[in-house]
Structure 1
């Protein structure tokens, strides 16, 4: 297995969420933090981390453009302890394939990549942490491990210092499912990409999702 990469086999002991529990999850995210709150809590952490997904696109564009049901950050998997140690009094639940492992053990963390920070006093979820495969200071795309880029190239910063994932990589992840909100994000963000960013996105899409419909618009 590549250094920093998680196993693809899910561990035993997870709780399978019922349809009703899945429907109730948005309410448990109603108190999630803003990017600025996350950045303040992680100030000084040496591990390369960045806001990901929809919030990253808003940070790229300079302001919030739509409601976000949660907030995600991405970190190198092996550097997770540096982030975890910033949240004493909270617990991390691992999630995957409709299951949840509360207060995940190291064994569970090694076999999953997504982690939700929970306030045990309220049951609310505050932060979604993606523990990404990597090789040292090189990020590895979990959907296509042939895509490898230095962290220094893929993490951008807002004027007030909040790190966020490069928009072309956010859109690359969104291309996998291309839900209505992903299509809306693509349509809104692409006009703001530089020529280099559009070229990079087209090249990565062609590698990871050959024939994807978004390629015609790049």
Structure 2
């Protein structure tokens, strides 16, 4: 994605950003998303906090929204699976309701909006990739086959491998991220913990989580 934000869009004030929580109150569950994407050909997976709960097999906390990730080039295919809804692009405190190619090239988050209520129900991350190879958007040298990073629940819901979810969360390590780390790591097999430690050492040298891995 481009570093240069396009013109236009709606710049949100701090109060408006805080108010977005209410607009996510009707967000879907992983099961609802999976039902709507049934039969889609492109790889996709539940990301962020919900992915960790799918890995653990239980809901560990309240989630303010739900995020999934897809290969960037597959967005048109995904878009067709949500008739009656509208996609807005979001980034750096701004929302673009009129998505142009310029906007899509600049930001990676795309929010699905119910036009009847104005509420958001799904956050779609459009991730860099090379064919069937996933690319970590914060370090393009980290590349893995989708077949290795997408895990599935017993019901078949795809989710991102926990070591990669935590790698994303390590950048900010907010209170909820620390809680997710503390809750998840004891249940991760040794190879997953070792992978997370290796990636953290590369992307965030000296990160405090390394001492607990």
TM-score > 0.5 by shorter chain:
yes
| Whole-angstrom distance in 2 between the partners of 1:90 and 1:96 | 20
| Whole-angstrom distance in 1 between the partners of 2:58 and 2:39 | 24
| Whole-angstrom distance in 2 between the partners of 1:20 and 1:188 | 31
Deviation at residue 110 of structure 1 after TM alignment:
1.8
| Deviation sequence 1:156-185 (CA, Å, 0-9, x none) | 000000000000000000000000110010
Report if aligned partners of 1:72, 1:127 keep a CA contact under 8 Å in 2: yes
The residue number in structure 2 matching 1:159 is: 154
Report if aligned partners of 1:49, 1:74 keep a CA contact under 8 Å in 2: yes
Question: Runs of 5+ in structure 1 lacking a partner?
Answer: 1-5
The residue number in structure 1 matching 2:122 is: 127
| Whole-angstrom distance in 1 between the partners of 2:66 and 2:81 | 17
Q: Give the SS at the match of 1:107.
A: helix
Report whether the alignment pairs 1:206 with 2:201: yes
Deviation at residue 215 of structure 1 after TM alignment:
0.4
| Whole-angstrom distance in 2 between the partners of 1:101 and 1:15 | 6
The residue number in structure 2 matching 1:186 is: 181
Q: Give the SS at the match of 2:103.
A: helix
The residue number in structure 1 matching 2:46 is: 51
Deviation at residue 106 of structure 1 after TM alignment:
2.4
Question: TM-score, normalization: structure 2?
Answer: 0.98
Which of residues 89, 103, 113 in structure 2 aligns to 1:118?
113
The residue number in structure 2 matching 1:142 is: 137
The residue number in structure 2 matching 1:87 is: 82
Q: Give the SS at the match of 2:22.
A: helix
Which of residues 3, 9, 25 in structure 1 aligns to 2:4?
9
Correspondence 1:100-119 to 2 at 5 A = 100-119=95-114
Question: TM-score, normalization: structure 1?
Answer: 0.96
